[in-house]
Amino acid sequence: MSADKDSPANPSRRDVLAASAGIAVAAAIGGTVKAAAEAKAPHALPPLPWADNALDPVISSRTIGFHYGKHHKAYVDNLNKLVAGTPFADQSLEQIVKATAGKSEHAGIFNNAAQVWNHTFYWYCLRPNGGGEPPQALKQKIEASFGSVDALKQELLTAATTQFGSGWAWLVKDGDKLAVTKTPNAEVPLTSGKTPLLTIDVWEHAYYLDYQNLRADYVNAVLGKLINWEFAAANLG
């Protein structure tokens, strides 16, 4: 039996245009993140890509208020103080992260710069009414690397819940393959040559007001309802 005219197997032109528009928007968002990464001091707190209550009830506006308005802002403020009058004042955020990674004498600068980068990236990994199926090009790469989207989600859940203490779970591009990795504290995969596609923040301030100690519930909720696959697809390059 043939498929219906506008079935998923035969999407309508409207569906195709909507999907294309979504990817175009994601690409523009990727440009916003790139611009923030390339900005020099004094660094500014970038605006959120949605209203602070847009992720309710998965992530509450109260959590966003503390996470973005207090924690993220503090990293930006601290970074500006630390780089003032140093050669790093003339470097972009991404340059600072790469130049100070693994250097104990610059640990304070690295930690704050990387956390500014990580948080700016994280906000764009989330969107209202997210989740669902990834765009086709990304889905094909996921299936080639993990077998299925569900298998990828399980790997991200495992990485996020087994990260001891504070840190991040990541979907990255590593050469021609996709991979899941986790990093402690402020560490970020771009310092080891990997391309971040998505991240989930597992510092307690990201979820504790809403989920207390139930980190897995928070991660599953993000993966099911907020994850921004279009942003990940735009990051494939």
Are 105 and 184 in the same domain? no
- Phi/psi at 170 (5° precision): -130, 145
Q: What is the DSSP letter of 20?
A: H
57-92: pLDDT as tens digits = 999 999 999 999 999 999 999 999 999 999 999 999
Distance from C-alpha of 4 to C-alpha of 51, rounded to nearest angstrom? 38
Q: Is the pLDDT of residue 4 over 70?
A: no
Are 114 and 160 in the same domain? no
207-224: pLDDT as tens digits = 999 999 999 999 999 999
**Closest of 149, 195, 134 to residue 170, by C-alpha:** 195
Specify the CATH number for the domain of residue 154. Answer: 3.55.40.20
Domain that holds residue 81: 37-41+49-124
What mean pLDDT do residues 3-18 have?
A: 33
Please say which residue of 124, 148, 183 terminates a domain: 124
| Averaged pLDDT of the chain | 88
Q: What is the pTM of this model?
A: 0.85
Are 140 and 224 in the same domain? yes
Are 149 and 173 in the same domain? yes
pLDDT at 10: 33
What mean pLDDT do residues 14-42 have?
A: 50
- Phi/psi at 134 (5° precision): -70, 160
Distance from C-alpha of 224 to C-alpha of 204, rounded to nearest angstrom? 20
pLDDT at 42: 87
Grade residue 29 by pLDDT with cuts at 50, 70 and 90: very low
Grade residue 131 by pLDDT with cuts at 50, 70 and 90: very high
